Amino acid sequence: MIVRIVQMTFDPAKVEDFKALFESRKQLIRHFSGCEHLELWQDTKKPNVFFTYSKWQSEQHLDHYRFSELFKDTWARTKALFIDKPQAWSVSQLMDVM
């Protein structure tokens, strides 16, 4: 299992555009082959900073998504709304403490 976290900083005037785009694409992304989980987070102090948190069956599944037409189109539309360079991390969970 791979966890992917992506931080994105948007032009404050374009936050609603991003939210609408995410709303229109979230089910397509969530049901893409290998995607097990998808969340959208918003920073509590900087409302124009968002994070996606997703779980993928493997690095290969994530790469298959990253090279898909769905990703290319969604990312092109998303990038047009940025005011800062995005950051992304792929991590593996070591433990879950309940």
Looking at residue 73, which CATH number applies to its domain?
3.30.70.100
Residue 37 lies in a domain: yes
In three-state secondary structure terms, 39 is strand
Amino acid 47: pLDDT: 98
Position 3 pLDDT exceeds 90: yes
Residue 96 has pLDDT above 90, yes or no: no
Whether residue 97 is contained in a domain is answered as: no
Average pLDDT value for the chain: 97
Name the DSSP letter for residue 84.
S
Give the chain's domain count.
1
Q: What is the pLDDT of residues 26-50, one digit of tens each?
A: 999 999 999 999 999 999 999 999 9
For residue 70, give the H/E element and its range: helix 69-79
- Four-residue CA torsion sign, 4, 40, 6, 78: positive
> What residues make up the domain containing 73?
2-91
